[in-house]
Every structure is written in C-alpha cells, then in structure tokens.
Structure 1
C-alpha cells in the first residue's frame, strides 16, 4: 500500500505490531485470571472430595437402610453438586467479566461513582451516630451538644443549635435582664429563659408554617418591631462613639470656671414684725446687747431663735435675692442694714465668709452624660430628618398652634440656674433640712 507521499505502508506489519502490543498488555492479566481460576478449581476439587468422602461414609452407614431412602439421598447429593457446580460456573464467568471490564473507561467511571457513593453513605452514618441520644449515668436519654467555649450551646431545635448569646439577646429584648447583668448557662435554666426562648421559636415557626406572616396586621407589627430594634441599635452605636469618658471630662473642664459656686457666708439673724422694732433691736446691739440673747428673746423665726439666730453656711443662690444681697454686701462681724421680706424685718449679722471650690467631677458626671446623650439623639434625628426631607401633615386645628423652638444643642451653661447640678442643697435629698427652710427666706 502506497501513501500520498509515495512511501510504502505495510498494513500487515502494522497490524501484527498492534496485536503484539495488545497481547503484551492482556497476556499477564489473562495469566493471572487463569491462575485464579485454577486456584478456585482446586478449592472446588477439595470440597468435592470432602463431600465424596462424606457421601461414601454415609453410603456405608446407610447400607442397611431401605433402598428408596438411599435413592433419595443419592438424588439430593446429585442435585446439590449440580447446583454448586452451576453457581461456581456463574461466579467464575462474572468474575472474568469484571476483570475484563474494570480497565475500560466505563469501568473506571463506575468505580469512581461507587466510591463517592460509599463515602457519602459513610459520612451520613457518622452524622446519624453523633446525633443519636446517649444514656447518662441514671440511664436517661441525654443529647450531646458540641463544645463551644466562647458561646455555649443550650438547646437544639430540629438540628439547629441554640447558643447562650441568642437566649441573652431575647431576654434583654423582653426586659428580663438588667443592662448590667450577665447571663450564665446555669442562670438561664434556673430562670427558665431557655424554655421560654424555645417555646417562642416553636410558636413563631408554627405561625410561619400557617402563613400568618402574610397578614397585613402581622406584617405591620413585624416591621414596627424590626424598625424599633434597628433604631435602638443605631442610637446605641452613636452614643457609644459620642458619650465617652473623655468627652464628658472634656466638657467638664471647658465649663470648670462656671462650676464654682462662689463665696459662702455664715450669718445669724433676728426676725421682727415692724421696721421700728428692727431699729430698736439695732440700737440695742450697737449698745452692747448680746445678739444670741436678743434672738432667743425677740426673733419671730422659731427655727433659728433657739440657736441664737444662727442660719449656718449658705451660698448666694441658696437664699432669696434680698437676703443674699444683704448677707454678701456685709463684711464679717458687721451688722447689715435692716431689710424687709415677706416674712418681716431682718437684722442680719455676718459671722464668717469663705471661698468655695468647684463642683467635684464625680457629682456632675451623671448630668453631663445625660446632656451629651440628649444632644446626640437630638442632633442625629435633626440630621436624618434633614437628609430625608421629612414633611409632617398635621391636622388643621394643630396648624395654628405655634411650633416649639428647636432645642439648644450648645454646651450646657453650668452657671445657669435652670441647669440643675448637685450643690450644697443636695442635703435636702438626703433628708437633711436646708438653712433656707429654717429661716423662711
């Protein structure tokens, strides 16, 4: 045979070479198959010989039996041997076919698929064995949960594990935990928080199965709860970034000058009914009369009269303006000019005077933190309303009502009387009477 380029191509030699190559591949495999078949045949021969010996022995033992029984035994033995030979032939044929089929491409593909199938079945069986309830020391069934050191597992619902963090979040949302309280696995079970959470999840899933989430009323409630949770999370993040200990201390230092309460004086007074009587008392005092004795004798203020008219220490803001002006305009040891209030005429003597220090940071920390929180919330809401172009459509009867002025978001004027800070009058909250209540002014 001649090729297109003029060369002679010997097909017989090519065919013989291919046959030789194929023979080189299959000859060892065939030899191994023949060897295995011979081994199997040798085993069959051994079994057959054993059966033959057993049959001969049985035949000798049953020689005295009836001929019909002997024929039945021979027939049974013949059929058994025939069946064994038939099964052996089928097994040998199948084994030869398997040996010849495995090296093919289809055989390799089926072998790989079968191996993957076996692997998946093994993993599935391992998972089933792990999820099977075990028996505790008392013999009761108890499920074994995976160990999670960071977030312990407390329950399982249809194969889904419930962690401690989920129980804690649900309890805080329901108001069952204080903000400063930490939940432990033991407390969660003691307070039945785990059972409550599981029951809530089961009921919620049942509602979803029934399609209640498609109800307009339920959808509005779910959206409202979702918005409430997201709004709280957003404000918590804003406050966490804004109301920091550094910000509180910085605001306190910026207002430290106005947190000083000024001077405070110690004074005593005599309260009389008329101006003439006040002038008479002043004349007696200038003549050398004892102030304490006159106060006990003639003062109408029954709270301070037994004390000799002693009022105690007070700052300018703790008394009425008239009383404070008279007290702070006089020098220690000097009598102030008689003055009148709604309670009568006062003769005031300043005993001592001293300067006060600034309000301690520990006493104004809470008001400053509250102010920063309110300012952060108000500013965040105003910014969001401005970005979203919010428009309110109020009823007509409310349109005529003047709108309230926007809140003042500047730093709090700590010297403003309207901004409440703990002062010397904090004793009133502790049950201690204030000097101004004793004197009346």
Structure 2
C-alpha cells in the first residue's frame, strides 16, 4: 500500500489555523476570532477569509514547536536551529501550505465536497466539549477530509473498469465463456462460480499498476465488452473490460473517486506528482490572477519569529 508521504502534503491539519471560516476582515486562530490590527496585519486572503500573522505564528508553533523543543534538549543552540530553518526555507514552505489549505478548503466548499468546517457554528462547538479540544479536533478532521478528497479528485491516472471471474483451470474458463456466449448473465455466473469475489465480478475502476501484470495489460488492450480468458498467478480469469479512460494528457485520464482509492494505489505518489501538482499550481495562479487569492505585499514568512520556548 502506498503511504501518503508526499512532502508538500505532509502536514497536520488543525483547527488552530482554520477553525471556522468567517466573513469580513477576520481570521480564526485557536478557534477565537482575531481582528486585523496594526500589530496583527493581514498575511493573505482567500475569498472572504482573511489570515493574519497571528495565524501564521500559531501554525509555526503547531508544526515546529515540538521539533524545536526536541532539538534544544539535544543540545542544539537557538542560532543553529534558526540557521537550519532559514537554509531549508521551512517557514516559506509552511506559508505555502497554509495557502494550499485555504484554497483547497474553499474549492471543496464551493463544490459540496466533504463536511464544511464553516458549518460547525459556535453553538455546536460549545456542545461538543467544555474545553473546546474535541470540537477543534472534529473541525480539523472535517477540514482534513475535505482537502484529501479534493486532492484525490484532482489526481488522475490511466484506469479501466472491468469485471472478472476467477477459476482454477482453462477448461473452466472456456465453459464460462461458452455460457456467456449463450446468453448467461455475467453477474449471476460470478456469484455462482466465485462467491468470494467482488459482487457481480465487478472490479470497479482500476488504476494502472494496481492489478496483476496480465490483467493490467488486458485492461488496457482488450476490446471493450468482449469477455476473454486471461491467465495470471496460477488462475484463469474470464475478464471483460467495460470502460477505459487513458491517454497522454491529464484530461484523458480518470480522477480518483476518493482519497482511500488514491492512498491504496501502487502508483499513487507518481500520479499525484504528475497530475495533482500541475493542477494545483495552475489553480493557485488562476486564483491570484482573479483576485481570489491576495497575498500582502512585502510579507516575508521568514520575518515571523520561530516558536522558541520562553526563557
């Protein structure tokens, strides 16, 4: 199974940054509305949602606080940690991820994807837990799910939709093919001959590389709606390709249905890099061009202090 470890999305989504989307010149940090002030200037805006330097400070503490504490305990000096952070442009990367989070959350909200964190109002939050911790976790989980679903639906791969029946011998496969040619129902035969297999033999949409090599090859080469016998791994399959979406361009490929499907795909990381990243980069450029994303002129993420513990 592919573990989703792509650096650009290896973040901990938290309600500390985006607890509730509010209108006007307000932002949300730690679940408390923070006004834009001379001491807490706007950092960027996505649509009507405004994010301030205080939000960025909270995000830095969330992502770097524990790591900084650990390095200090290991004997690293503040100056050494500061130099490492600057060399790796870590604050710039976190800033970009904040923008990603905001843009993808807005995208999800506008298309009805997932549970909108903005729908969780203060009355609901108050009922979830007196301390607010459970509420923050639930809102953070809702946002996390939204973003992962957006990611999956904009990651594409060559895919085929097929159904199959696995049998022990070639003669069994020939018998099934004869039955189908005689008018037998594929789903009924699948239920009878392979009761432990997928319902009706339907494999669903399968991304390139996610099935045995022989089936993968057949999925992208056989004529549609033509049951055929295929041998793979000591078994014989009566295999029928129902649909196929594949090609050189991203538009010709099929998007993943959900994040679970993407996460379980053997080529998930490659598909993400080849199709999602270009899509997101263009999406962000379009948002900036339209004025939907506005970054404060002259804002430098490296100007915000690191979350060192108080001395």
Bin for the TM-score computed over the shorter chain:
0.3 to 0.5
Using CA pairs under 8 Å that are at least 6 residues apart, name the structure with larger relative contact order, 1 or 2. 2
Flag the structure with larger Rg: 1
Higher share in strand: 2
